[in-house]
Amino acid sequence: MRSDRSYITRKPFMQGEEQSRGRVQYITSKNYDAFLLRSDIHMASLRFYTRRLRLALSAKSIQLLFICILIVSLGRYVVLHNHDPDPFPPMPGPVLKVDDEGIDWFKFAYVQYVTTPEYLCSALQLWSQVETIGSHAQRLMLYPAHWSADEVDDSIPSKPLTPIARLLKQAQTDYYVKLQPVDVLHKDHSEHAMWQDSYTKLLAFNLTQYDRVLHLESDGLYIHNMDEVFLLPSAPIAMPYTYFGPPTGWAYSSQLLLLHPSSNLFQQVESAVQHAEPHESDMDILLTLFPTSILAMPQRPYNLLSGEFRRKSHIEYLRNTTETWDPEKVLGEASYMHFSDWPIPKPWIRATKEELNRYMPSCGRSEWFGATDCRDRTVWLGLYGMYARRRKEVCGLGFEVQERGFTEKGEDRGMVGDMVG
């Protein structure tokens, strides 16, 4: 009878080069001892490396490294799978290009309304910028029906045009603006004088000869062509969604008002004005009439506020957390800039030295060697200086920037703009 060592069932195994070459080697009584020896060597090697690994993992430095890797991995997972929604979601852009064929630019119009001589001069400054930069759309200005473009000053022997008539004529002849007299839409009981006549801008809803109109506040600067704004997605009304800083934060702004004129909508607006509470502004009326149908227009680059240069943080305007603030670049890319620096007065009123020292932008530290960086202040002061020069050039005598004062009603004329009679 064969011994247990000599009687081995022939079982195939593959080892080394024989495995790679595909040849099968069988365990027999002749090679069994060699097979066991090789197995013992492999097991010994495995136990050796296992002990080395346990010793390595027991070291504090390795444990600390493992913990750090685990923390980083968990952090990446949380960021990728459990973060808050994007704080700056994409904003709508034009659906057509300005140079697309088939656009009837006679059906689009820039609109301004004026109710005082001071705002008339500001509107004229804006029209001069539109003419210099160029535009495809039409230009229309609403003004009080009791004004006349032919009125003369009888107190002077030569009987020249009155300042108001002169500027109205200038808008027509120099800047190709259509004039439309209107009955000023306001509430006599309004608690805020600056709101009394601001309702007049809502008359733009009645300009049904146009498919779309863009109303511009006159106390601003038209910096780049804005024709593409007319090509934003269709909506009854569109306004810039603007960051005003604390305590207001984000809110719609009617400094730019893009709308589809409609007789039906105008009737609703007119009724809302007549039934408005004493404290309600034009913006309050718009938010009431269009609570869910307002198209948010991007603030950048369409509605830069002069007050932006006074802020410490510009993340909201830039709409990202990585871009470095560059005031010169931001101004250069803006399409429209609105003067908004309360309590600094309107730009046609010269702020006092005390006001400037208190409210003008502060100087910061440059990234280069900690040098003083006053670019915000330089740009901000330059805006007011440019406005003052342009006002004198465009409007002439009687409309120069003047010192701050008060109206006969005791109102700050730097806020309400009532200066020239």
**Which segments of 59-162 does DSSP mark as H helices, in order?**
60-81, 117-133
Tokens at residue 415, please?
């806020």
Cβ within 8 Å of residue 294, ≥6 positions away: 235, 236, 237, 238, 239, 252, 286, 287
Per-residue pLDDT of the chain (421 residues; tens, 9 = 90+): 444 444 444 444 444 444 444 444 555 555 556 555 566 666 666 666 666 666 665 666 666 776 777 777 776 655 555 544 456 667 778 878 998 989 999 999 999 999 899 999 999 999 999 999 999 999 999 999 999 998 887 777 677 889 999 999 999 999 999 999 988 765 555 444 444 567 778 888 899 999 999 999 999 999 999 999 999 999 999 999 888 777 777 888 888 999 999 999 888 888 888 777 777 788 888 888 888 889 999 999 999 999 999 999 898 899 888 889 999 999 999 999 999 998 999 999 999 999 999 999 998 877 666 678 899 999 999 999 999 999 999 999 888 888 876 665 555 555 444 333 3
- Spatial distance between the Cα atoms of 227 and 414, rounded to a whole number of angstroms: 32
Q: Strand 349-350 vs strand 402-403: parallel, antiparallel, or unpaired? A: parallel
Amino acid at position 256, single letter: L
The pLDDT value recorded for residue 34 is 59
The pLDDT value recorded for residue 70 is 76
CATH code for the structural domain at 106-416? 3.90.550.10
- Spatial distance between the Cα atoms of 147 and 9, rounded to a whole number of angstroms: 119
The pLDDT value recorded for residue 216 is 95
Residue 191's SS3 state is coil
The pLDDT value recorded for residue 408 is 59
User: Where in the chain are the domains?
Assistant: 12-81, 106-416
Phi-psi region of 369 (alpha: psi -120 to 50; beta: other; left: phi over 0): left
Please count the other Cβ atoms lying within 10 Å of the Cβ belonging to residue 156. Answer: 9
On whether the CB atoms of residues 290 and 237 are closer than 8 A, the answer is: yes
**Which segments of 13-96 does DSSP mark as H helices, in order?**
16-21, 32-58, 60-81
State phi, psi for 336 to the nearest 5 degrees: -145, 135
Angle between the 375-395 and 117-133 helix axes, to the nearest 10 degrees?
100
On whether the CB atoms of residues 307 and 245 are closer than 8 A, the answer is: yes
Q: Strand 294-298 vs strand 256-259: parallel, antiparallel, or unpaired? A: unpaired
Residue 138's SS3 state is strand
Q: In 122-249, which ranges are E strands?
A: 138-144, 178-182, 212-216, 220-222, 237-243
Beta-bridge partners for 239: 296
